[in-house]
């Protein structure tokens, strides 16, 4: 494992890339509406990123055909934008967006409620997002990566939700996926010791019921195995002497 420590100027650039990724996600939240296809939403996100002078990081990554991953209801992550897929009132829609700017990558995700959603769905979104902020708060100099991972697991599992184990957060910098892996489960007091200048994405992927997932035949879309809802929230952060800093802020 090789974890890169970022310089002050690297962090400045990561903050810029993160800001664009965050604004693209904010833009998605402004334009998403019932009746829209996921392809239309993807196109709008794509155009926004390009208008910022950045490159949509996901487009072509491993052959991915969109600029955003758009995953509806029981889809957990990696949903492929499609002109046949319509967003409906009452859906929860996870949007994951990356932007590359000046050689560095910003990456973040948010699960949007489209119109009125069920109380159960709202609770899943609230708990998943809260677990992300709890894990960010745990990302302090001297803490271990296991502390961060365990925070997500404990927060969500204690409320009866399932933790996706096959996919995880990741280091980030000039590359979208760098070391270390940041799982959403772990043992407190174990793993990498956090140091100033480390940057990584924390991204809880949480199922309403059960941990199990399956991947569709399209090779990308990850679904809950039992068809229950799933939520996904992600921020890119830097570990600093003054505490964790969220890089994906609009």
DSSP state at residue 4: P
Minimum distance between the CB of residue 3 and Mg ion, rounded to whole angstroms?
Answer: 16
Our CB check for Mg ion shows the closer of 75 and 107 to be: 107
Our CB check for Mg ion shows the closer of 159 and 165 to be: 165
Distance CA 225, CA 83 (A): 25
Minimum distance between the CB of residue 27 and Mg ion, rounded to whole angstroms?
Answer: 18
* Phi–psi pair at 249, nearest 5 degrees: -120, 130
DSSP state at residue 45: H
- Residue 154 makes CB contacts below 8 A (sequence gap 6+) with none
Our CB check for Mg ion shows the closer of 107 and 153 to be: 107
Minimum distance between the CB of residue 120 and Mg ion, rounded to whole angstroms?
Answer: 26
Judge whether 19 and 106 are in contact, CB under 8 Å.
Answer: yes
Binding residues (CB under 5 A) for Mg ion: these are 107, 201
Minimum distance between the CB of residue 201 and Mg ion, rounded to whole angstroms?
Answer: 4
Our CB check for Mg ion shows the closer of 153 and 236 to be: 236
Q: Give the chain's end-to-end CA distance (angstroms, integer).
A: 31
């Amino acid at each position: 494992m090789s974890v890169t420590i970022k310089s002050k100027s690297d962090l400045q650039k990561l903050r810029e890339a993160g800001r664009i990724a965050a604004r693209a996600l904010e833009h998605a939240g402004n334009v998403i509406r019932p009746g829209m296809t996921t392809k239309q939403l993807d196109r709008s996100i794509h155009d926004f990123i390009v208008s910022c002078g950045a490159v949509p990081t996901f487009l072509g990554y491993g052959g991915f055909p969109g600029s955003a991953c758009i995953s509806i209801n029981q889809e957990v992550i990696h949903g492929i934008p499609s002109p046949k897929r319509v967003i409906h009132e009452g859906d929860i829609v996870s949007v994951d967006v990356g932007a590359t700017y000046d050689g560095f990558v910003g990456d973040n995700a948010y699960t949007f409620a489209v119109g009125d959603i069920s109380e159960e769905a709202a609770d899943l979104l609230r708990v998943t997002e809260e677990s992300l902020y709890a894990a960010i708060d745990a990302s302090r100099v001297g803490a271990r990566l296991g502390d961060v991972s365990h925070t997500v697991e404990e927060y969500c599992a204690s409320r009866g939700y399932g933790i996706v184990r096959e996919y995880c957060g990741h280091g980030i910098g000039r590359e979208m996926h760098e070391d270390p892996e940041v799982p959403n489960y772990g043992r407190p007091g174990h793993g990498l010791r956090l140091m100033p200048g480390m940057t990584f994405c924390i991204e809880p992927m949480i199922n309403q019921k059960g941990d199990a997932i399956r991947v569709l035949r399209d090779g990308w879309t990850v679904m809950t195995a039992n068809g229950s809802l799933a939520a996904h929230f992600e921020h890119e952060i830097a570990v600093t002497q003054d505490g964790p800093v969220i890089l994906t802020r609009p």
